[in-house]
Amino acid sequence: MKTIVWDVDDVLNNLMREWLDRVWIPQHPDCKVTYEQIRENPPHQVLNIPMAEYLASIDAFRSAAGSELSAAPAAMDWFRTHGHKARHAVLTAVPLRAASIWAGWVIKHFGQWVRSFNFVPSFREAESLPSYDHTKGEFLKWWSAGHVLVDDNVASIEGAKALGLATVLVPQPWNRASGSLKSSLEELTLLIQ
């Protein structure tokens, strides 16, 4: 049975869209940037703000509303139909202070299928941590248990490919991939048959 390694943000949920619509735009009504115009992640340059301001805002959103985020409907539908056909692990990049929130969110929505929650800590000034892995690729090399990576980050996809994993890139404005989450999950279904 193959093991699928899932990213969380903007794959299993819609974090960036929710943050932009629920926090950034209401707090900055003069901002005319739409979700589709977020061509970089992190989007601080698109929004014309310092990286620290973006990180503070999205981290506050994760802490305050993260547990309330809905699962992406297409992902939930896929798990209900195909989840039993593979083993599932999560590998996300979040700051340490958000990891427990995201772990709870994953178990709440996908715990029927996901048996492993893993994270590579995203750098934050206030956190001093031992440095084991800097990228998802480095983690996957050490872990050596995955067969397929599902992610929206091109660098993570490339790191997994370099290790010989199959990959599924989830289209988002910042990776300029065509299709949808649903079409990406159809591709995933073929990989695990």
The CATH code of the domain that includes 168 is: 3.40.50.1000
pTM above 0.75, yes or no: yes
Collapse the DSSP code of 5 into the 3-class scheme (helix H, G, I; strand E, B; otherwise coil) and give the result: strand
Q: Are residues 77 and 129 in the same domain?
A: yes
Q: Are residues 94 and 186 in the same domain?
A: yes
Q: Are residues 54 and 115 in the same domain?
A: no
Q: Are residues 10 and 22 in the same domain?
A: no
Q: Are residues 101 and 144 in the same domain?
A: yes
Q: How many domains does the chain have?
A: 2
Domain of 52, in residue numbers: 15-68
Collapse the DSSP code of 114 into the 3-class scheme (helix H, G, I; strand E, B; otherwise coil) and give the result: strand
Judging by beta carbons within 10 Å of its beta carbon (0-12, 13-18, 19+), is residue 130 exposed, middle or buried? exposed
Q: What is the dihedral of CA 155, 182, 189, 159, to 10 degrees?
A: 0
Structure tokens at 183: 């079409």
Residue of 10, 72, 66 lying closest to 38 (CA atoms): 10
List, for residues 130-156, the tens digit of each pLDDT value. Answer: 888 899 999 999 999 999 999 999 999
User: Quick check: 127 pLDDT over 90?
Assistant: no
